[in-house]
Structure 1
């Protein structure tokens, strides 16, 4: 600042969210060098799902933004200021995954600027997009940067930011949103509409050419169910596993589905609460299901998750009427057996013998002519169970008892 012509520079620190401390600092400004401009640039991040945001976590983010800005507004309202600049964030305008507290804090700054402007006071809230080498976005990890890129947001360099700062301060609007977009980036993903904030979806151009995997994700639940119904079990499992791995790769920002180990736990792959919800949302869009937020915790690997989705989309067939009747009789039999006295050894022995006989009959794989019948024991058992009536079951029991 001295190099730019300032005669002296005084640095003074206080907690601007502490009204008394801020009032004392402002009172110490010399009368011959009065305060003429305010730039509020504070910010704290504490990302997390809304359900995890405790009062303390909300206060940690809202206090330096909202409380400090309100104190500055009230304590300088009577001064002859030329500028009152608030550093807001595009998160308040577009929303940002896991940043409900941060978005709310910056929305307060936008509203405060508009209120000041309506009262004839100087005010500009600058809802910054990401900066490449500084600012909040510079501390993002690789997953966060990938998520931001998929949304179409592009970071700008420091010199661009400074030029935008000057342009926002000289503009007529109380809230300015300096941000850069790549409108083609979201359209290359497997779920273009799901990546882009709702207020900007009219800007996204969907690509005409799509890969087979992207086409599967865009089919919709009915078409996907129809397609799965025409496949064999192994083919169906392969399609759903490929779908899961494709979405996992997109969320993690890695090369493709083949780079996702089908048996590796999501936690080991690098998933956290935010990416878990993002994966759930993508799979909801791809399948038409309403999957729970705990999806990756309940199904900890891609292959387990694919199986869960299969059961939702193509449930196992219900047993037939004859099998249901047998199951009902077995339920009644269990109830009757429970009433048999524990000390009646003779009766219990005879019951065991008869039940063993029934199991042996159901497990028999020999045809009526004594040949193998061309069926495996399991197949023969299944067929006998399907065709047996309740009377047949009890006849078998009597037959085995007589044979004993």
Structure 2
């Protein structure tokens, strides 16, 4: 109930005492639809209206009463499943934001990193001039790739050390910069050694690392052009540059204190666009805090947001598999789940590929399972194909179509997941991650017969949507896939990219410790049966980009927002509630467990006290990182090297 409070004796004591009017919760569209269906059902039951009841349940009026209970049970499960799937659905939008008459003169020294191959371009010159006219002392830094013959020491790229030393000298002679703007992503041609990557992405990886090595804490901004689409009239021009956005989202988590943001530049940087760029760099764009993911267009400034994407009405089955369906990574965990769903949906011919084909573990058993599941009505081909190799992909498609059966749908699920902090990664690590995902998708995009293709489905990840510590290479590769789907849509071609959250019983989630760790951070694993149902809905409704993840925002938000403002998720009501709860003062007093532990420490001699504290830190670090034993946490290593990011640090 209500309680009395002491009012201030004078104004401006920085505490508010006004009553706030109660705001009734607004039900979601999905909840409204579900309530409407349930209301019709119960009304029919109450009025003993058999016709209305059977219509709602979609069963024959002559169905015997004994058959009604299974129908009711099935209907109820369907409604529950739909509500669960609906709660997983999100999408990215771009919202216009006004900066009005606010101006943003820059001050101090700004380093502008430019790729060697674009150093003389008009766009680079326009950016440098724009910053200079608005008060910055601009120092262009031309950055070149490291060739094949470069010496690598202890898994580090040679160019990284050279660049770090160069940055140290520049800071010593010209002073610490106020900010760093990278235009390196504008070189979106293939890297000379790792063709799955662009030169610009590789250069940006080296720049982030070198800045850290040199101890430069100035905010870093990564710029692109045509890497995002803010509307249907703004086609995405460079899917390859979008990989830098995936990289940047992880940098924001691993190095929040020296992160500026991501900005996509317009085709022509006129005076208005230059003003907007400088406003972004100075941090004045944003009503509740600086924006860190922006796109500058002729129409204004747009900011990136994650919003819910509920299905307002149940989707009609407008897509069904028929003809030949290709699944890359088809013998793996995700591929097998998709294959089973396709067989249940009436697929006629599945082609499952992996690098080892029939020699892949479990491939033969999966084929037999699928044939049995299809009761003899489906053909299943398991083929060896390295999707990184354009020639092998072309040969596979040639064999498939030689019998007059074009590929009607493709599900690109190939790829691996590896964890490595950006500071410990090399360009080769990024290339290895991109090889299967990016090259495979690029080859399929180029080689498939688009006239007969009805579905082109790319398996992406939430790591590309909002970042994930230790997954910079993975996030970059998946951001490229998301952009490729939008690029195909702009060309009038079918495409669906799904940024998945973790699936239960798949990959790393098969290990209970990892599943528990993710769940504690607010990312419980999704049940595969429902994840597949969510994918089916996306295909029925023709969605191009979708995020499917079970996020418990009350657990996810505190860690995600601890180190800096995260406007990406700020418009979700659950996030606002979590932020309000986090900001509320804690009046519960010291934790009893902590009190007990501190009391136990009080009487220990020095050596025992040190040992007890070390054991505590090791045990807590191991628990947060998902290790079963504190022995897995090496002493004497920085927390970042152990795999900590801003989320795990808060936990």
Matches of 1:183 and 1:281, distance apart in 2: 13
Query: Using the alignment, how far apart are the partners of 1:245 and 1:13 within structure 2?
Result: 49
1:281–1:169 Cα change, 3 Å? closer
- Mark the CA change 1:185 to 1:77 in structure 2 (over 3 Å): closer, same or farther: same
SS of the residue aligned with 2:554?
coil
Residues 326-354 of structure 1: CA deviation (Å, up to 9, x unaligned): xxxxxxxxxxxxxxxxxxxxxxxxxxxxx
The CA deviation string for residues 247-306 of structure 1, in whole angstroms up to 9 with x for no partner, is 76554327xxxxx99xx994169x8975735278876x79xxxxxxxxxxxxxxxxxxxx
1:282/1:15 CA distance change after superposition, 3 Å:
closer
Q: CA–CA distance in 2 between the matches of 1:50 and 1:76? A: 35
Q: 138, 159, 168: which one pairs with 2:509?
A: 138
1:11 equivalenced with 2:379 (yes/no): no
Helix, strand or coil at the partner of 1:167: helix
Deviation, 1:185, is 2.8
How do residues 86-101 of structure 1 correspond to structure 2 at under 5 angstroms?
86-101=458-473
The higher relative CO (CA closer than 8 Å, separation ≥ 6) is in 2
Show the counterpart of 2:489: 117
Please name the residue that 2:552 is paired with.
182
CA contact (8 A) 2:560 2:646 kept: no
Report matched runs for 1:187-336 at 5 Å.
193-194=561-562, 198=566, 199-200=568-569, 201-202=575-576, 204=578, 205-206=581-582, 212=590, 250-253=620-623, 266-267=633-634, 276-278=642-644
Aligned to 1:42: 414
Say if 1:123 and 1:186 are closer, same or farther in 2 by CA, change over 3 A. closer
Gaps of 5+ in 1: 217-231, 255-259, 287-404
- Tell me the TM-score normalised to structure 2 length: 0.34
Q: Would the aligned equivalents of 1:247 and 1:279 in 2 still touch at CA under 8 Å?
A: no
Contact 2:460/2:482, CA 8 A, preserved across alignment: yes
Residue aligning to 1:391 = none
Q: Check conservation: 1:66, 1:109, Cα contact below 8 A.
A: yes
Larger radius of gyration: 1
Q: Distance in 2 between matches of 1:95 and 1:280?
A: 11
Helix, strand or coil for the counterpart of 1:253?
Answer: helix
Match of 1:57 among 404, 429, 432: 429
Quote the Cα distance in structure 2 between the aligned partners of 1:196 and 1:38.
40
Query: 2 CA distance for matches of 1:268 and 1:112?
Result: 43
**C-alpha distance 25-186 of structure 1, shift in aligned 2 (>3 A):** closer
- Corresponding residue of 2:396: 25
Give the alignment of 1:158-177 within 5 angstroms.
158-177=528-547
Counterpart secondary structure, 1:10: strand
Match of 2:442 among 70, 74, 84: 70
More helix by share: 1
Corresponding residue number in structure 1 for 2:212? none
**Judging changes above 3 Å, is the alpha-carbon distance between structure 1 residues 153 and 27 closer, same or farther for their aligned structure 2 residues?**
same
Please give the alpha-carbon distance, in whole angstroms, between the structure 2 residues aligned to 1:171 and 1:241. 59
Contact 1:128 1:177 in 2 (8 A): yes
Give the 3 Å change call, closer, same or farther, for CA 94–242 of structure 1 in structure 2: farther
Which of 508, 523, 534 is the aligned partner of 1:153?
523
Distance 1:127 1:247, change over 3 A: farther
The one of 465, 468, 474 aligned to 1:102:
474
Could you tell me whether the CA contact under 8 Å between 2:560 and 2:647 is conserved in 1? no
Q: 1:168: how far off?
A: 2.0
Using the TM superposition, give the Cα deviation of residue 96 of structure 1 relative to its aligned residue in structure 2, in angstroms: 1.0
- Match of 2:502, SS state, is coil
Match of 1:308 in 2: none
Is the alpha carbon distance of 1:196 and 1:87 closer, same or farther for their aligned partners in structure 2, counting shifts above 3 Å?
Answer: farther
CA distance in 2, matches of 1:211, 1:192: 25
Among 96, 112, 128, the residue aligned to 2:500: 128
State how far apart, in whole Å, the 2-side matches of 1:88 and 1:149 are: 20
**Residue 151 of structure 1 contacts residue 196 of structure 1 at CA under 8 Å; is this kept in 2?**
no
Please report how far the alpha carbon of residue 159 of structure 1 lies from its aligned counterpart in structure 2 after TM superposition: 1.1
| Contact map agreement 1:89 1:126 (CA 8 A) in 2 | yes
Count of residue pairs the alignment pairs up: 259
Q: 1:281 to 1:33 in 2, by over 3 A?
A: closer
Using the TM superposition, give the Cα deviation of residue 102 of structure 1 relative to its aligned residue in structure 2, in angstroms: 0.6
Q: d(CA) in 1 for partners of 2:464 and 2:621? A: 23
2: distance between equivalents of 1:15 and 1:213? 55
- CA-to-aligned-CA distance 1:128-154 (integer Å, 9 cap, x gap): 1111112x3425572x44542233111
Q: Structure 2 CA distance, aligned partners of 1:33 and 1:90?
A: 35
TM-score by length of 1: 0.53
Deviation at 1:7, TM superposition (A): 4.0
Task: Report which of the two has the higher share of strand.
Answer: 2
Query: C-alpha distance in 1, partners of 2:620/2:439?
Result: 38
